[in-house]
Chains A and B, each alone.
Chain A
Amino acid sequence: MTQYIIRRLLQAIPLLFVISLILFVLMRNAGDPLATMGGRHLTRPDDRARLSRQLGLDKPIYMQYLYWLIGNDWTKMDVDGDGIPETPGTRRGILRGEFGTSLITRGKPVLKIIWERLPNTLILMITAEAIIVVFSVVIGVYSALRQYSLMDHMVTTVSFVGYSMPIFFIALVSMYIFAVNFKKWGLPYLPTVGMFDPQTGKTSAQVALHMVLPVFSMSFTSIAGYSRFVRATMLEVMSEDYIRTARAKGLPNYMILFIHALKNASLPLVTIVGLDIPMLLGGAVVTERIFAWPGMGRLFLDHVSRADTPVVMGILMLISVAVVVFQLITDITYAWLDPRIRYT
Chain B
Amino acid sequence: MRRTWLYPVLTVIVVTAVLLTSCQPTPAPTSPPKATEPPSKATPIPTSPPPTAPPAERKIMTIIFTQEPATLNTVYSSMWFESILHQIWSCWALEYDDQNEAFPRLVTEIPSTENGGVSEDGLTITLHLRDDIVWSDGTPITAEDFVFTYQMYMDPANAVASQYPYDHLESVEAPDERTVVMRFKEPFAPWEAWFWRGLLPKHVLEPVFEANGSIIEAEWNLAPTVGCGPFVFAEWESGSFMRFVKNENYWLGEPKLDEIFIRFVPDDASQTAALVAGDADLGTFPPLSDVPALQDAGLKIIVQPSGYQEGWFFNFREMAHPAVQDVRVRQAIAMALDRQAIINDLLLGLTTVAETYWDGTPVYVPDDIEPWPYDTERAKQLLEEAGWTDTDGDGIREDANGNKLTLVHGTTTREIRQDIQAVAQQQLKEVGIDLQIFNYDADILFESYSNKGPAAIGDLDIMEWSDLPTGFPDPDTDYWLCGQIPSDENPWGYNYFGCDEELDALFGQQLTTIDAEERTAIVHEINRRMHDQVYWLGLYSDPDYWVVGPRLANVKFSGVTPFYSIMEWDLQ
- The yes or no answer to B403 lying at the interface (CB within 8 A) is no
| Chain B interface residue count, Cβ-Cβ cutoff 8 angstroms | 112
Q: Does A17 contact B (CB under 8 A)?
A: no
Report the minimal beta-carbon distance from B65 to chain A, rounded to whole angstroms: 10
- Identity of the chain A residue whose Cβ is nearest the Cβ of B260 in the assembled complex: A198
Contact across chains for B240 and A107 when beta carbons are under 8 A apart: no
**Which one, A134, A208, A212, A307, contacts B23 given CB within 8 A?**
A208
Q: Report the nearest B residue to A137, measured CB to CB.
A: B13
B269 near A172: Cβ-Cβ < 8 Å: yes
B401 contacts A by Cβ under 8 Å: no
Cβ contact within 8 Å between B32 and A107: no
Which of chain B's residues has its CB closest to A40's CB? Answer: B80
User: Which chain A residue shows the least CB distance to B78?
Assistant: A39
Stretch at the interface among A48-56, A157-165, A330-338: A48-56
B67 and chain A: residue at smallest CB distance: A302
Tell me if B17 and A127 are in contact (CB < 8 A). yes
**Known contacts A192-B277, A198-B60, A208-B28: A292-B265 contact under CB 8 Å:** yes
Task: Contact check, B239 vs A117: say whether CB atoms are below 8 A apart.
Answer: yes
Per DSSP, chain B at the interface is: loop
Segment at the interface with B among A1-9, A146-154, A252-260, A315-323: A252-260
CA distance in complex: A33, B441 (Å) = 11
A75 at the interface (CB under 8 A from B): no
A36 touches B446 (CB 8 A): yes
In angstroms, how far is the closest chain B Cβ from the Cβ of A287?
A: 10
Which residues in B have their C-beta under 8 angstroms from that of A92?
none
Q: Does chain B have a CB within 8 A of A324? A: no
Q: Is B121 located at the chain interface by the 8 A CB criterion? A: no
How many interface residues does chain A have, given as a range?
35 or more
The residue on A at minimum CB distance from B83 is: A39
Interface residue? A266 (CB, 8 A): no
Q: A31-B447, A51-B159 are in contact. Are A37 and B479 (CB under 8 A)?
A: no
| Cα separation A87 to B77 with both chains bound (whole Å) | 25
B44 contacts A202, C-beta separation under 8 Å: yes
> Which of B34-42, B88-96, B341-349 is near enough to bind chain A?
B34-42
Q: When A200-B40, A201-B51 are in contact, do A44 and B1 touch as well, CB less than 8 Å?
A: no
Nearest CB on B from A101, distance (A): 8
Cβ–Cβ < 8 Å partners of B444 in chain A: 30-32, 35
Question: B103 at the A/B interface (Cβ < 8 Å)?
Answer: no
Query: Within residues 237 to 272 of chain A, which ones have a CB less than 8 A from any CB in chain B?
Result: 252-254, 257-258
Binding site for B on A (CB under 8 A): 30-52, 54-55, 79-81, 87, 101-102, 104-108, 113, 116-117, 119-120, 122-123, 126-127, 130-131, 133-134, 138, 172, 175-176, 179-180, 183, 188-195, 197-209, 211-212, 252-254, 257-258, 289-295, 298-299, 301-302, 305-307
Question: Could you list 29 A-B pairs, sorted by A, with CB under 8 Å?
Answer: A31-B444, A32-B443, A35-B442, A35-B447, A36-B442, A40-B466, A42-B479, A44-B162, A45-B494, A102-B70, A108-B222, A130-B14, A130-B16, A192-B277, A197-B33, A198-B263, A199-B37, A199-B58, A201-B53, A202-B45, A203-B44, A204-B44, A206-B40, A209-B29, A254-B1, A254-B4, A254-B5, A291-B270, A298-B266
**Chain B residues in the interface with A (C-beta under 8 A):** 1-2, 4-6, 9-10, 13-14, 16-17, 20-33, 35, 37, 39-45, 47-48, 50-54, 56, 58, 60, 62, 64, 67-68, 70-71, 76-80, 82-83, 156-157, 159, 161-164, 167, 216-218, 221-222, 237-241, 243, 259, 261, 263-267, 269-270, 273-274, 276-279, 308, 441-448, 451, 453, 466-468, 470, 479, 484, 490, 492-494
Apart from A46-B492, A122-B21, A198-B243, 8 more pairs, CB < 8 Å: A40-B80, A47-B161, A105-B70, A131-B17, A197-B279, A201-B52, A202-B45, A205-B40
